[in-house]
Structure 1
C-alpha cells in the first residue's frame, strides 16, 4: 500500500528524502544483497533443509494459486488488506486536520502508512505502542510540533481502540445478564 501510495501521490514526500545517506545506504544495500545470498547458500550447503523448504514453497504456491482462482476469496482478501490501513490512515488524517496540523491529507496518510510499516517489525498486539511512537516521530519529522503530534496519535487511538470498546462492553454485559454466555 505504501508503494502504491508513493506512486499515486509523489508530492507527499520527495523520494530523495526516503533514501538513507552515507553509511546507512551502504549498510542497507549490503543487507539487501547479502540476505538472499546467505539464504541461497544455506539452502545449497545444508542438505537437510532442502526438502522442508521445497515442500513449504510448493504448498504456499499451490495455496496461493488455488485462492486466486476464486474471486469470492481473493477480492475480499486483497480489498481488506488495502482498505484497512487506508481507513486507519484516514482517521489519523481526520484527527490531524481537526487539530490543525500543518500537513496535507496526503502527508498525513503517508505518515501513518510509513509509521505502521516501520512499526510492523516490532511484535505488539494491534500495533499499540510501536505504531504510536513511530507515528509521533514521523509527524515530528514532517515538522509538526511534538505536543500536537502526540495529541493526534492519542485522538487516533481514542477513536480506533477505546471508543469501540464501549458498545462491545455493553453487548457483553447484556449477553452475560441474559445468561447467553
Structure 2
C-alpha cells in the first residue's frame, strides 16, 4: 500500500515515466558485484551529496552509488541492490543476478531524496525497533548509512523507507 501511494505521488509529480524496469537475468557465478559507480567511488567512497536542485549536480547522475541490503525475516532473505552513479543497477537474490538501468528522471528523483536533510538526520540516528522475523534493511550512499528492522510503520525512518519503496517500484528489489 505504501509503495503504491509513494509511486502514485512520484508519478503525479512527474518523477515516474511509467516505464517498467529494464532487467536481464544473469546466473551469478560468485560473490555479487556492485554496479559501476564511476570515478566518484562506491557507496563507501565518501563523495559529497548535492542539495536538491543544486546546479552543480549533473542531471541523470548520482554523486555516489547506493547499496541496499535486505536480510533476515522468516524466509531468510539475503538480497542486495547496488545502483551506480549513472543509474546502472544490479540486484542479487538467491545467487541470481539481474541488471538494468534507471531512467535519468528516476536517478534525479533518487538523488534528490538522498540529498534531503531528513535522510542525513536518519543516517545520524540509531533505529532500535525489534520484532520477530522482521527484515533488516541497510541503505548506504557515500558516508551515510541507515539501518533498521522493518517491523511495520512504527519506527521506520521515513525518508530511507521512501527510498527503499521507490527502488522496489523501479527494480526487482
TM normalised by structure 2 equals 0.26
Higher relative contact order (CA closer than 8 Å, sequence separation 6+): 2
TM normalised by structure 1 equals 0.25
Q: Greater Rg, structure 1 or structure 2? A: 1
